Structure 1
Amino acid sequence: MKEKSIIESHLVPELETPIRLQEYGVGIFKTLPTKSGFKKAIKKELIFVNDTIGTTALFIKGGETITLYQVNELPKAIDKLKVPLKVHYEDDFLAVIEKPPGVVVSGNSFVTIYNALPQNLQKSTQPDAIRPTPIHRLDYPTSGLLLIGKTSSSIRILSKLFENKEIRKAYYAISIGKMESEDEINLPLENKKAITQFKVEQTVISERFEFLNLVQLFPITGRKHQLRKHLFSIGNPILGDREYHLKDKLLKGKGLYLHANSLQFTHPFTQEKLIITSELPKKFKKIFP
């Protein structure tokens, strides 16, 4: 099985006069320094200009994005990977899937969401289609909605939307202890600004934990373990969190009670307003029916 992935990208500055792609492109990529190598890459359809396949007849005028791809030969064993994923939304450009808890999004492991995506999503028919790629991450023990790009242009644009905070994420967690009904946690993490807003929707009395809260979380920034660290910092750690917990308050064997339940954004190609939600896991409903 073969898939394309991006090696390098180059933004063309303003040019006084147009120049053919095959002439301009010599030396712009570290991994493709020669003229003959660049021409071969064009013929193999590995060079894209503004997400369209480049040709030797194309003139570069300035302002274009030139992208170099490589063809990846995926191990045959990946065809045997069976990780069924619930697909909440899919079109030719992007998808939203539900990540189960206990699976990493990507990395050196064989069983990852990244490796499972080709078996769960339809291949894009767009000219810049590439292997489906997660746009953001969820922690290993966290479940919920994960945004996927299916073309090089969608990956680039969606990543920019995240940077510009134009994609709104919401989570549900079950936290331990008495909490304010709603508040904002403004606590830097790793010397970087980090802000989380929260709203408690329900509270029940617990013999072991005193109080358990169904709390909705809105991360304004996106730092590593932000929600878990922020709730722990105010004395209300997430139930089942093995890294950030109070003494004698760790619930074992049930996993982390943190679920990414909502994504809201404007589709960058259709301009449709998308609001995608996910039901609470069964273990949440056992505590909050």
Structure 2
Amino acid sequence: MNSNDLKIIESIVVPILNNRERISDFLPGHFNTIYSKKGIKKAIKSGLVKINGEKAFTADYVLGNERIDLFQSTLANKRKAVNIILEIVYEDDYLAVINKPAGILVSGNKKYTIENALPLALKKSKQKDGLDYPLAIHRLDYPTSGLLLIGKTSRSVILLNKMFENKKIIKNYEAITIGEQDDQGVINTAIDKKKSKTTFKVIKRLNSIRYKNLNLVELIPHTGRTHQLRIHMSKIGNPIFGDKKYGIKGLISKGNGIYLQASKLTFKHPFKEKILKISIPRSKKTSKLFPKNMK
């Protein structure tokens, strides 16, 4: 593969490590576009990872201060774009925000994923580093709906990823939880031995004989662990309504999926001097239980 056929989509500088680490062990969890060890190894073997400008190998070690770049090939992609109707909430030449439907993967080896739908759903960027396949900057679980941030150029992906790392992008979620719950709180329970933080605030309550209470809750994740909001709500005894994985047996609503929606994104546009505050209306199924005019 010729170097002219590659575009940088993510870059990191390795922090100072106590002990040197093999690059294939260090990288999982540091790139947003590839997060599994298997995927990292495949990218390295495909020549899509460089250390300080040189091609990386799985046997290479890092100790600190190395610059690692992840590339995307501009050659014909083996993936085929699929036609999935997506609601585009915001779009310009650099980035987009879509309203992800529940019940679809953001990325992966499946045919029908959000990323495979993006080339047809979005306008092609006119920038020199425009991506044929735009990339999701973060993840939403398969059953979760709501706002998903997309990078349309190589530079956008790099800058937006850095903004996430530096906590410059705020994500707000709305969920319905079950049980008696405090008005507000902070949850710091570690997930997979990693520091994790979620704040919550109850917006409205609904009395329920079966569930004691149904609570409309605003959630803000301050870290980005897998299933973080679902795990944290379960840990305090207020699982998210409809959550089959972390809910309480016998108290799981069936047929309507999980009541969790990424409802708002707030961040400074990486190329324009403006703050974007992007939000979507409450989901229809949540509105049936908590209509806007409810006191």
Q: Within 5 Å, which residues of 2 pair with 1:13-32? A: 28-30=53-55
The code of the aligned residue for 1:71 comes to T
Distance 1:8 1:273 in 2: 23
CA deviation after TM superposition for structure 1 residue 146, in Å: 0.3
Distance 1:182 1:4, change over 3 A: same
Distance 1:123 1:140 in 2: 26
CA deviation after TM superposition for structure 1 residue 136, in Å: 0.3
CA deviation after TM superposition for structure 1 residue 236, in Å: 0.2
8 A Cα contact 1:4 1:69, kept in partner: yes
CA deviation after TM superposition for structure 1 residue 247, in Å: 2.3
Q: Within 5 Å, which residues of 2 pair with 1:167-206? A: 167-206=169-208
Q: Within 5 Å, which residues of 2 pair with 1:103-118? A: 103-118=104-119
**1:53 aligned residue:** none
**2:121 aligned residue:** 120
Distance 2:267 2:142 in 1: 24
Distance 2:206 2:156 in 1: 43
**1:73 aligned residue:** 76
**2:37 aligned residue:** none
| Among 135, 145, 148, the residue aligned to 1:146 | 148
**2:138 aligned residue:** 136
Q: Residue 115 of structure 1 aligns to a residue in which SS? A: helix
CA deviation after TM superposition for structure 1 residue 242, in Å: 0.8
**1:43 aligned residue:** none
Gaps of 5+ in 2: 14-49, 58-66
Distance 1:9 1:284 in 2: 39
CA deviation after TM superposition for structure 1 residue 253, in Å: 1.3
Distance 1:194 1:171 in 2: 16
**1:218 aligned residue:** 220
| Among 231, 234, 243, the residue aligned to 2:233 | 231
8 A Cα contact 1:8 1:29, kept in partner: no
TM-score with structure 1 setting the length: 0.77
**1:281 aligned residue:** 283
Distance 1:193 1:8, change over 3 A: closer
8 A Cα contact 1:205 1:212, kept in partner: yes
CA deviation after TM superposition for structure 1 residue 160, in Å: 0.2
Distance 1:154 1:238, change over 3 A: same
CA deviation after TM superposition for structure 1 residue 72, in Å: 3.7
> Could you report, residue by residue, the CA deviation over 1:236-288 in whole angstroms, capped at 9, with x for unpaired residues?
00001010011211111110100000000000100211000011111001111
Q: Matched residue pairs, number?
A: 240
Gaps of 5+ in 1: 12-24, 33-63
**1:50 aligned residue:** none
**2:269 aligned residue:** 267
CA deviation after TM superposition for structure 1 residue 110, in Å: 0.3
CA deviation after TM superposition for structure 1 residue 98, in Å: 0.7
TM-score with structure 2 setting the length: 0.76
Rg larger in structure: 1
CA deviation after TM superposition for structure 1 residue 75, in Å: 5.0
The code of the aligned residue for 1:104 comes to L
**1:99 aligned residue:** 100
* Root mean square deviation of aligned Cα: 2.5
8 A Cα contact 1:173 1:215, kept in partner: yes
**1:256 aligned residue:** 258
The percent identity for this pair of structures is 48
CA deviation after TM superposition for structure 1 residue 205, in Å: 1.0
Distance 1:127 1:184, change over 3 A: same
